[in-house]
Structure 1
């Protein structure tokens, strides 16, 4: 079938982990090594922290570290957890 190889490549990309760095927001969050699925690079990253969530977005920026390309997620805003 002609469409199957493309589907296999797409499926493989969706499970590929990409290392990320957090920029801005609480400093203790940036110290943790993190990764996300490659398919999540275009979504807002929401991390629970204290009594709320810190939101980070990837604007297409990458940085080189230890011979790898790392996706940079920049802090955008904080929301509180509803009680």
Structure 2
């Protein structure tokens, strides 16, 4: 059974900075989010932040990749 949990995205395109996303089990180090014609990549930091009464792990923006055509 997969358990969902939340994380906070920091940095990257303005649309993602400060966004809370749902994570599934097994996602502990990196997150890849489809965006426009590519993917935004976020890496887990050692930081956590309090958001709406929950301590959430922080994933910071690392880089962007484009989808091959």
Q: What TM-score range do you get, normalising by the shorter chain?
A: 0.7 to 0.9
Q: Which runs of 4+ in 1 moved over 6 A?
A: none
| Runs of 5+ consecutive residues of structure 2 not aligned to the other structure | none
TM-score using structure 2 length: 0.82
TM-score (structure 1 length as normaliser): 0.70
Question: Which protein is bigger by CA-based radius of gyration?
Answer: 1
The one of 15, 18, 26 equivalent to 1:39 is: 26
Tell me what 1:8 maps to: none
* Structure with the higher strand share, 1 or 2: 2
Number of residue pairs matched?
69
**1:32 Cα deviation from its structure 2 partner:** 4.4
Question: Which structure has more RCO (C-alpha within 8 Å, separation ≥ 6)?
Answer: 2
Q: What residue ranges of structure 1 are gaps of 5+ in the alignment?
A: 1-10
